[in-house]
Chains A and B, each alone.
Chain A
Amino acid sequence: MSDAPAVKKKFSEKGLEFIDWLLGRYPNKQAALLPVLRLAEEEFGNIDNDSVMLVAETLELSPGYVWGVLTFYTHYRREGDGKYLLQVCSTLPCALRGCRDIQHRLEEKLGIEAGETTEDGLFTLKKVECLGSCDTAPVVQVNEKYHENLDIEELDKLLETLRG
């Protein structure tokens, strides 16, 4: 296997322990792929090519297979995503309660469009489909946290807090 590409990243000791635990929960290694991708996201901040190589090696899958699965899902943080991933829900229940204004305000304040990252690498803005929080629309998910019942004033405050 001398021509196998070198894996540049390593999971932490704690991460490896978690993977051991995970592998005990499923009858094969492939089934642990989604949780191990999550672990890579948590340990390295996002999933890039090196993370894919590491996950593939860890679970004895081909890198191509891992890429295929990774790219089916939209919720993993990917290389180039900013420190704060702002996911604006845009599906009908949020649209009925003004998510378009929220998105426009974010675009205006950040100077980017949905799908882009600010130059300082702080914010990535994404327009996403239903976040399952329609009773508290409009909703923006910032990394793991939901910010609900947003209006322009609340949104501006949120951005200020995130900018620190």
Chain B
Amino acid sequence: MAEIKAEKFEKVLTKYVDQEGSASLDFYRSHGGYEAAERVLKELKPDEVIETVKDSNLRGRGGAGFPCGLKWSFVPKDTDKPKYLVVNADESEPGTFKDRVIMERDPHQLIEGSLISAYALDSHICYIYIRGEYYDAFLAMQKAIDEAYEAGILGENVLGTGFRLDMTMHRGAGAYICGEETGLLSSLEGKRGLPKIKPPFPAVEGLFRCPTVVNNVETLSCVTHIFDRGVDWFKSIGPPEGPGPKLLCVSGHVERPGTYEVPMGINLLDLVNNHAGGIWKGNKLKAIIPGGSSAKILAAEECDVGMDYESLAAKDTMLGSGGVIVIDNKTDMVEALYNLLRFYAHESCGQCTPCREGTGWLQKICGRILHGDGRPEDPDMMLDLSKKMCGRTICVLADAAAFPCESIVSKFRSEFDEKIAAGDGHERTVHLGGPLVQPGALSAHNQERLDELQGGH
């Protein structure tokens, strides 16, 4: 891997986000905006666009890291069905908040990237599925789309080339599972956001049973810059098998949480200590979740690692969504895990038994350890359960819950064992999570009826 010179790195995705009026079309055009799209639409054939993106080794920035050009090449050419491009702006992975910056502060780069991508895919309809909570981002995107229609950048005759593209904002309404691409498509069809079995993959049979490509906001924004600055520029940043600029979201116990645009492959400790200002309050580092809450945790001594797909895979974790959650040495890992398990149990769509039951049981078992009722066999049971949840469900939410569980229990085992040993007489306070499930007490109403019945005997 080539050494990455951070000082030579020039930001592109967030270059203008701190400037006044950066979201407007005038601002965007004054910095060369839509020149790349115009050149692509006028000079390149759709297949050449796909080949360029393949050549760039751009990998998905949403979580799975799938090669973008390869995904596009799965869309059948000989179909008379409409083809859809769907922008995944659901951004629901805990610890991730990068797409919001793009949409609120530089939305036109997303429109431009989507335009180039739609052209490559011969798609004339693009939906942007945005999480319901992101209201400001929704407004900023809608305003940018309106401006683009007004200027002839979207609509019947894109940039005077005769290419047609309609773009529609579609708001979600609070469901983590709608960030999973088939769950997202179900939601976009006006259904409960239930993931679907693959195959067929969306590229062949997706939205409204038509060929569909779903790409993340940051991925499509990268497409803009690949055509603006060239493939060689893109490939020169970070490891060649998955290069490019990367938005990393640093949250948790650091002095300066935020979204940092860095070269792919930046050292995780460099990111945390230099960019994000180090661990807060002078505390020490305990662990980092490197790629959103679903990624396996790295203990402090494992954090000297490059933030790229391959280096993190070599540490048995993943780049995921780029959500870097930093945890200091004062943190109770049982409590932290309980918080995450509650999240997954809450967000499981309930279709598949291993996920619906598994996430619920993991939360309950971790909850009883946390609250002093743990049994000596519980940590092993959590590991066993995690293992049995993986790879047995329609989508990867089960795996996403199992990964943090398996890694936190095995890497911080002593904290679990100590809590269990200290068990009896442990203070029963409710910590990060919700209320504990009470063992089968009757409701007041039922208790009265029961008392009546028993009184009658």
Q: Which residues of A contact B (CB under 8 A)?
A: 25, 27-28, 30-35, 37-38, 59, 68-69, 72-76, 87, 90-93, 95-97, 100, 127-137, 141, 144-146
Residue of A nearest to B191 (CB): A69
Across the interface, do B190 and A31 meet the contact criterion of CB distance under 8 Å?
Answer: yes
Residue contact A34 to B173, C-beta cutoff 8 Å: yes
Which residues of A sit under 8 angstroms from B136, Cβ to Cβ? Answer: 144, 146
Determine which of A30, A91, A131, A144 lies in contact with B339 in the assembled complex, contact meaning CB atoms within 8 Å. A91
- Report Cα–Cα, A18/B84, bound state, in Å: 23
* A87 to B258 Cα, complex, angstroms: 22
- Selected from B189, B293, B346, the residue in CB contact (under 8 A) with A92 is B293
Contact B188 A134 (CB under 8 A): no
Give me 18 A-to-B residue pairs in the complex whose CB atoms sit less than 8 angstroms apart, sorted by A's number: A28-B208, A30-B191, A31-B188, A34-B170, A69-B190, A72-B349, A75-B173, A90-B432, A92-B343, A92-B432, A129-B94, A130-B93, A130-B94, A130-B176, A133-B97, A134-B323, A135-B250, A135-B259
Residues of B within 8 A of A87 (CB): 133
**CB atoms of A31 and B208 under 8 A apart:** yes
The reply to whether B190 and A33 form a contact with Cβ atoms under 8 Å apart is yes
CA–CA, A75 and B131, complex, Å: 10
B94 and A91 contact, CB distance less than 8 A: yes
**A76 lies within 8 A of B92 (CB):** no
Q: How far is the CB of A39 from chain B (nearest CB, A)?
A: 11
Are A129 and B343 also in contact (CB < 8 A) when A97-B252, A134-B323 are? yes
Contacts of A37 in B (CB 8 A): 173
Shortest C-beta distance, B331 to chain A (Å), equals 7
The interface residues of chain A lying within 8 Å CB-to-CB of B257 are: 134-137
A133 partner residues in chain B, CB cutoff 8 A = 97, 100
Shortest CB distance B170–A (Å): 7
| Cβ-based interface call for B63 (8 A) | no
B343 lies within 8 A of A128 (CB): no
CA A144 – CA B138 in complex, angstroms? 11
Minimum Cβ distance to chain A for residue B266 (Å): 17
- Which residue in chain A gives the minimum CB-CB distance to B326? A96
Q: Are A129 and B173 in contact (CB under 8 A)?
A: no
- Check A73/B175 contact, CB under 8 A, given A96-B325, A146-B136: yes
Known contacts A33-B190, A92-B95; A135 and B293 CB within 8 A of each other:
no
Q: A73-B172, A75-B132 are in contact. List 17 more A-B contacts (CB 8 A).
A: A31-B208, A33-B190, A34-B170, A34-B172, A68-B192, A72-B193, A73-B173, A91-B339, A93-B252, A95-B336, A95-B339, A96-B336, A127-B434, A130-B293, A132-B92, A134-B257, A137-B251
**Contact partners of B208 in chain A: CB under 8 A:** 27-28, 31
Assess whether B173 is in contact with A76, with CB atoms less than 8 Å apart.
yes
B327 contacts chain A at the CB level, 8 A cutoff: yes
Q: How far is the CA of A95 from the CA of B293 in the complex (A)?
A: 13
Residues of A near B230 (CB, < 8 A) are: none
A145 to B135 alpha-carbon distance, docked (Å) = 7
Given A25-B168, A73-B172, A96-B327, answer yes or no on A135-B251 (Cβ-Cβ < 8 Å): yes
Nearest chain A CB to B182's CB is how many angstroms away?
15
B386 at the interface (CB under 8 A from A): no
Report yes or no: B192 in contact with A95, Cβ–Cβ below 8 A.
no
Q: Shortest distance in angstroms between B276's beta carbon and chain A's nearest beta carbon?
A: 9
B343 pairs with A130, CB closer than 8 A: yes
Pick from B175, B176, B187, B325: contact of A93, CB below 8 A: B325
Q: Verify if B171 is at the interface (C-beta below 8 Å from A).
A: yes
Interface string of B83-106 (1 = CB under 8 A from A): 000000001111111001000000
Q: Specify which chain A residues have a CB less than 8 angstroms from the CB of B131 in the assembled complex.
A: 132
Q: Which residue of A lies closest to B336 (CB)?
A: A92
Out of B132, B171, B176, which one reaches A129, CB within 8 Å? B176
Among the interface residues B95, B136, B208, which one has the most CB atoms of the partner chain A within 10 A? B95
In the complex, whether B120 has a CB less than 8 A from a CB of chain A is: no
Distance between Cα atoms of A141 and B133 in the complex (Å): 8
Q: Taking CB as reference atom, which chain A residue is nearest B133?
A: A131
A138 to chain B minimum Cβ distance, whole angstroms, is: 11
> Which of B96, B173, B293, B339 is packed against the most chain A CB atoms within 10 Å?
B173
Q: Which residues of A contact B325 (CB under 8 A)?
A: 92-93, 96, 134
Question: When A133-B100, A134-B323 are in contact, do A74 and B175 touch as well, CB less than 8 Å?
Answer: yes
Residue from A27, A28, A76, A132 within 8 A of B91 (CB atoms): A132
In the A-B complex, list the 9 residue pairs whose CB atoms are closest, starting with the nearest: A75-B174, A33-B190, A134-B251, A73-B173, A72-B192, A30-B190, A74-B174, A93-B251, A135-B257
B174 touches A134 (CB 8 A): no
Q: Which residues on the B side are within 8 Å of A145 (C-beta)?
A: 135
Tell me if B134 counts as interface (CB < 8 A to partner A): yes
A41 to chain B, nearest CB (A): 9
Chain B neighbourhood of A96, CB < 8 A: 251-253, 325, 327, 331, 336
When distances are taken between beta carbons in the complex, the residues of chain B under 8 Å from A76 are: 173-174
A38 near B94: Cβ-Cβ < 8 Å: no
Contact of B190 among A32, A141, A144 (CB under 8 A): A32
Q: Let me know if B92 and A92 touch, CB within 8 A.
A: no
Query: In the bound complex, what is the Cα–Cα distance between A72 and B183 (angstroms)?
Result: 12
Asked if B253 and A130 sit within 8 Å, CB to CB, the answer is no
Residue of B nearest to A144 (CB): B135
Q: How far is the CB of A18 from chain B (nearest CB, A)?
A: 13
State A33–B192 Cα separation when bound (angstroms): 11
- Write the nearest CB–CB distance from A10 to chain B, whole angstroms: 21
